[in-house]
Amino acid sequence: MRPHAVTKQDINDTLIILEMLDSGIVPYRWPRNSLGSGMDSLDENDSKKAKRKFRKLWRKALKHYTYDEAVLKNLQRLCGVGLKKSELKFHHYIERSRLVYKMFENQV
């Protein structure tokens, strides 16, 4: 059996995961897995910290799109900005995860 060749995408994925760890959030790959699986392994205090850091990062990621008001408004709608927690749907959380992942991808 031939060994798996390391691709540029594999290296980028690893660098993104290291950046996520450095930022204090639970690393995840887009779109292959979600945050939930990693959050389950944390105790309550660490889970709160990671969630707070993730919220801060997705708001930071959203600010990168302030150059175009139409794009920003669309992203705000997709991410559920301004909605109460009880009004947020699963797709809002997915869009937030995608936005943060793209921010890390652009940094690498």
Does any domain span residue 93?
A: yes
Tally Cβ neighbours within 10 Å of residue 64: 13
Q: What is the pLDDT of residues 61-89, one digit of tens each?
A: 999 888 889 999 999 999 999 999 999 99
Does any domain span residue 1?
A: no
Q: What is the pLDDT of residue 26?
A: 87
Q: What is the pLDDT of residues 4-56, one digit of tens each?
A: 788 888 888 889 999 999 999 988 877 655 555 667 778 889 889 988 999 99
This model's pTM is above 0.85: no
Tally Cβ neighbours within 10 Å of residue 99: 20
Does any domain span residue 100?
A: yes
CA distance 8 to 12: 6
Does any domain span residue 3?
A: no
Domain assignment of residue 35, given as a range: 8-107
Does any domain span residue 67?
A: yes
Does any domain span residue 78?
A: yes
3-state secondary structure (DSSP) of residue 10: helix
Q: How many domains does the chain have?
A: 1
Q: What is the pLDDT of residue 42?
A: 81
Does any domain span residue 12?
A: yes
**Cα angle for residues 70, 75, 77 (degrees, 5° grid):** 95
